[in-house]
Amino acid sequence: MLIATVTDWSPDTRTEPAEAAPSADADRALARAAATGDLGAFEALYRRHAGRVHGVIARLVGHHGARAEDLTQDTFVRAWQALPGYRHESAFGTWLHRLAVNTALMDMRASRSRPSLDADEDALDDLGTFDSAGHATALGLDLERAVATLPPRARAVLVLYDVEGWKHEEIADALGMAVGSSKAQLHRARGLLRTRLGDFA
Look at residue 43 in the predicted model and tell me its pLDDT. 97
Q: Per-residue pLDDT averaged across 124-128, rounded?
A: 39
Q: Per-residue pLDDT averaged across 73-88, rounded?
A: 94
Lowest mean pLDDT among 27-41, 69-83, 143-157: 143-157
β-bridge partners, 136? 130
CA dihedral 174, 143, 149, 99 (to 10 degrees): 30
Three-class SS state of 136: strand
124-201 CATH choice from 3.40.640.10, 1.20.1070.10, 1.10.10.10, 3.40.50.150: 1.10.10.10
Q: How does residue 108 score in pLDDT terms, banded at 50, 70 and 90?
A: confident
Q: In the predicted model, what is the mean pLDDT of the chain?
A: 77
Domain 1-111 is found in CATH 2.40.420.20 = no
Q: State the sign of the Cα–Cα–Cα–Cα dihedral 181, 182, 187, 189.
A: positive
**For the chain, the helix, strand and coil percentages under 3-state DSSP, each to the nearest 5:** 70, 0, 30
- Read off the pTM: 0.68
> Could you tell me where in the chain the CATH 1.10.10.10 domains are found?
124-201
